[in-house]
Amino acid sequence: MDKILEGLVSSSHPLPLKRVIIRKVVESAEHGVDEAQCEAMFDLTTRLILEGQDPFQRQVGHQVLEAYARYHRPEFESFFNKTFVLGLLQQGYHSLDRKDVAILDYIHNGLKLIISCPSVLDLFSLLQVEVLRMVCERPEPQLCARLSDLLTDFVQCIPKGKLSITFCQQLVRTIGHFQCTSTQEKELREYVAQVTKVSNLLQSIWKAEPATLLPSLQEVFASISSTDASFEPSVTLASLVQHIPLQMITVLIKSLTTDPNVKDASMTQALCRMIDWLSWPLAQHVDIWVIALLKGLAAVQKFTILIDVTLLKIELVFNRLWFPLVRPGALAVLSHMLLSFQHSPEAFHLIVPHVVSLVHSFKNDGLPSSTTFLVQLTELVHCMMYHYSGFPDLYEPILEAVKDFPKPGEEKIKLILSQSAWTSQSNSLASCLSRLSGKSETGKTGLINLGNTCYMNSVIQALFMATDFRRHVLSLNLNGCNSLMKKLQHLFAFLAHTQREAYAPRIFFEASRPPWFTPRSQQDCSEYLRFLLDRLHEEEKNLKVQSSDKPSESLDCSETSLQEVAGAGKAALLTEVPCTSDGEKTLIEKMFGGKLRTHICCLNCRSTSQKVEAFTDLSLAFCPSSSIESLSFQDPISSPNAQDEDVMQASVSGPLEESEVYNSAIAAFVSDSVENEKSTGILPDEPHCTENTSVPTESSKILVNKVVPQKPGSETTPSVTDLLNYFLAPEILTGDNQYYCENCASLQNAEKTMQITEEPEYLILTLLRFSYDQKCHVRRKILDNVSLPLILELPVKRTNSLSSLSESWSINVDFTDINENLAKKLKSSGTEDAFCTKLVSYLLNSVVVHSGISSESGHYYSYARNITGTEPSYQLCHHQPETLAVASSQSHLLGRESPVTEQDLENKELSKEWFLFNDSRVTFTSFQSVQKITSRFPKDTAYVLLYKKQNSTNGLSSNNTTSGLWINGDPPLQKELMDAITKDNKLYLQEQELNARARALQAASASCSFRPNGFDDNDPPGSCGPSGGGGGGGFNTVGRLVF
């Protein structure tokens, strides 16, 4: 019969005929057949099954074998013995390799046929050994899946006792070696099905023998934590995660994170590979285990691992959001990684460029699941933008993309952030390397944050973009000098010419940091700017004194101390009343120095006192809302009642008092009392009565204070012009702020006015945004939006015959003369003696923005553009003739927004190129972004403004014969500077090469890969770090005052 069957299957007869004959052969198995005939038939069918040339032959072999084995069970038991099976497993069958899946399928079917025979027990014992050997040989997924099928059907073949643990461990290793190189969907589905069979086998063993679970998991961790570069464990290990009981999470994570034998490099590798598991389509609970491990590492303060892994894998996790099968888990892990990474925006900024395209893609498909996902993603993005609010250039496209989705409330955002934050910050982060790339497309160089130094960076960039100032600094010949100005020149030169994307200003920071500023703590940028300008001014003045042949000639300029406007510190002043001659002025005086006259009139005896002081910036308090619409006042010089020539009759009632010393360590802020006074139009002040001018009572009038009726329902946004008007408006000194009049020899009500008598080339305005709440004893930030005029008109009052008075308290008159004699010297003659107001036009040059809701934290960045002294001039409004200026209304005396047409602004100024400087990041922006910054990001408010005098002809450049070389660019650098820059650029190229080599080894390195210089204030945690613009806590941060 075997010969007939063999001839039949190899013949060329029609297939239907063959099937009929095969049916007869199968039926013949029911009849008696001798043992030899049975064995011959078993040999033939085995050969057909294992070596059949086509599916028909293999099918015939299975049918005939099953029929003969069923009816001739003893003969088949004798044939399918232990020796035969062992030979198949160890040697194969003829030309068939022992690892061929057909052999396992044959054994599987054979076991089914003799399951009721006693000899099967011997086969089970044999297979317990052989299957262990097979998994140790790392079979391919297909073979391993067939083995899993066999062991699932015949659990008796699974090794027992200690061997079961070994078997599970080896099976885990085998899974870790699985690979699929195909990209065809059908083959990928088969591959996933094969892996699923193997993982299900492990699950069944873990349930049957719980003692095998923990060793198996240990083997999983050993595989994924391996630092062997020659082996990359398969992502198919993710298939095992769904079978691990969730109740074990706490115990397992604690064991892993506290095990001293687990090195940081191994843990980093393990966590990275677990995150890779998010790509496995059928894996469940991977996100839960990944998040649990992240939390476990945070609990034991292994932040270096968390930082490394987050920065390395955050983009991969984000990319998994594109795939529906793994999207829920990927979003969960992404949310945790971003929300817990609160010390730096670096991780969030890695995915920011990809958010808009993802949102647009899912918005377009219109699926309900996509909409639900976008709502969740939008909430996450809003939380991150809230926490790192100082990057409008990055966030504006995202805000536009997600504007149709609900925005979470501030309280919800704070709750989410507080629940996700790490509890502390690693102290070893400062030693990590920076990851830098080439110079940005803007051509500008950023400044690396050295640890909460954004206050310095924003100020330096604003000064650097003050083109005339920069060019004069770069043109100075400072060879052989180690001054602060030399260091500033060095810094400016590098900002202008380095190839680096960002420069680390360490030397300049150490040299310019005020001694009372705590290193690595957030500080007030306005206070730093005042200190810096004062240092540069004093330094240059002292150098002039030292180099002078006649030191005594400079005594008038060196009696010094910083002057301060009486009261609330309205203006930041130079350390002296500067010399009159331009040639004797320092560079700071020529660029930023102006003069301010303070005039106080006693309302009892009408005597007046005047004082002129130099300033480098004006600190503008916020005016009460009732004063925004209009500021109605009359100053004693320009009002009709003050124009009588009797105004000039003076009597000196006492000697000149010493001026106050300005303490630059105390930053100006609006106290609670100031706010209370201002609400009624009164500013507290401490007057300095030094020179009294008596005004006849018949021409005297009591002047009104600043309070004016508010228009019903008016809620206009105040502008810088309004704040400047408020600064210059008269103040009535009453109550606790009464003025001590030497003429009356008592405290009296008085009126104080201030007038700018000499304008600076660059006008620096500081908006006093930080107030002190005396009830709560906390410092608060005033978050009011302020309109920033692109063109500002500054009212400057000048006089001819009183020019000597405008220089100082110490006027050149004989103070032994009083009353009549002094009146003769100061008596006016017609309009020549009258004060005239000139409106000087200024163009907005730069804006330093403070991001945050608290004075104790925040982040600084700046907007700036290039403006030179040769900007084209266009008149915004016509000045009144000088003869009319005397009687002009207060609106002409005050700075105001310019009545230019919208078209003029758009064509001439709005088109100018603006830059956004945010520490190491520099991007293009527009004036519209500057204008909308607070409306788009309520915590981001303009703080320090720098205006450039328009079409300046009387600045330093007009007196410098080389100024013509600077019109179209910066002056050429001195050789010493150029050599230093060239050397650093070469070093930079070498660093790039070394970094490229190091990145290849970084994954296996245990060293920290965190980069404190990449973004804002990473080390230590402070105002720009965990609170970065958020105004509150994180990492147990000790609050620092912004000022």
Nearest of 949, 626, 627, 940 to residue 786 by alpha carbon: 940
CA distance linking residue 237 with residue 949, whole number of Å: 68
CA distance linking residue 263 with residue 179, whole number of Å: 27
Average pLDDT over residues 434-460: 79
Kindly report, residue by residue over 214-244, the tens digit of the pLDDT: 999 989 999 888 888 888 899 899 888 888 8
Flag the least confident range among 17-31, 489-503, 541-555, 781-795.
541-555
Angle between helices 101-113 and 141-153 (to 10 degrees): 10
CA distance linking residue 940 with residue 852, whole number of Å: 6
Please say if the pLDDT value at position 25 is more than 60. yes
Can you give the pLDDT at residue 855? 62
Our answer to whether residue 454 is catalytic in this structure is: yes
Q: Which amino acid does the sequence have at 772?
A: Y
CA distance linking residue 133 with residue 415, whole number of Å: 55
Report residue 848's pLDDT band, with 50, 70 and 90 as the boundaries.
very high
Phi, psi of 584 (to 5 degrees): -95, -5
Nearest of 339, 358, 324 to residue 291 by alpha carbon: 339
Q: Which amino acid does the sequence have at 219?
A: E
Report residue 837's pLDDT band, with 50, 70 and 90 as the boundaries.
confident
In sequence order, the 6+-apart residues with CB closer than 8 A to the CB of 692 are: 602, 607, 608, 609, 650, 651, 652, 653, 654, 741, 742, 743
Give 647's DSSP letter. Answer: G
Report residue 557's pLDDT band, with 50, 70 and 90 as the boundaries.
very low
Flag the least confident range among 116-125, 335-344, 696-705.
696-705
Q: What percent of the chain has pLDDT over 90?
A: 33
Can you give the pLDDT at residue 811? 33
- The two beta strands, 739-741 and 859-865, are unpaired
336, 537, 859, 892: the catalytic one is 859
**CB–CB of 759/592 below 8 Å?**
no
Q: What percent of the chain has pLDDT over 70?
A: 70
- Provide the CB-side half-sphere exposure for 237 (13 A, CA): 28
**CB–CB of 942/933 below 8 Å?**
yes
CA distance linking residue 621 with residue 723, whole number of Å: 7
**What average pLDDT is seen over the chain?**
74
Flag the least confident range among 261-275, 300-314, 901-915, 1005-1019.
1005-1019
- The two beta strands, 608-620 and 594-602, are antiparallel
**CB–CB of 937/1028 below 8 Å?**
no
Dihedral class, residue 933 (left if φ above 0, else alpha if ψ from -120 to 50, else beta): alpha
Alpha carbon distance, N-terminus to C-terminus of the chain: 104
Q: Which residue pairs, CB below 8 angstroms and at least 24 apart, start in 116-124?
A: 116/73, 117/73, 117/77, 119/77, 119/81, 119/82, 122/82, 123/82, 123/85, 124/154, 124/156, 124/157
Q: Which amino acid does the sequence have at 32?
A: G
CA distance linking residue 943 with residue 924, whole number of Å: 21
Average pLDDT over residues 92-109: 89
Nearest of 951, 902, 933 to residue 788 by alpha carbon: 933
Q: Which amino acid does the sequence have at 726?
A: Y
SS (H, E, C) 942-965: EEEEEEEECCCCCCCHHHCCCHHH
Kindly report, residue by residue over 718-757, the tens digit of the pLDDT: 889 999 999 998 989 998 899 899 999 999 999 999 999 9
CA distances from 747 to 693, 703, 735 (A): 17, 18, 9
CA distance linking residue 913 with residue 465, whole number of Å: 12
Average pLDDT over residues 685-703: 35
CA distance linking residue 205 with residue 772, whole number of Å: 68
38, 157, 168, 454: the catalytic one is 454
CA distance linking residue 326 with residue 275, whole number of Å: 12
Our answer to whether residue 859 is catalytic in this structure is: yes
Kindly report, residue by residue over 246-295, the tens digit of the pLDDT: 888 888 888 888 888 888 889 999 999 999 988 888 778 899 999 999 98
380 C-beta neighbours (distance < 10 Å), count: 18
CA distance linking residue 202 with residue 170, whole number of Å: 11
- The two beta strands, 608-620 and 762-767, are parallel
Provide the b/e sequence for 717-738 (b: ≥16 CB within 10 Å). Answer: ebbbbbbbbbbbbbbbbbeebe
Average pLDDT over residues 542-546: 82
CA distance linking residue 4 with residue 733, whole number of Å: 127
Report residue 999's pLDDT band, with 50, 70 and 90 as the boundaries.
low
Report residue 1's pLDDT band, with 50, 70 and 90 as the boundaries.
low
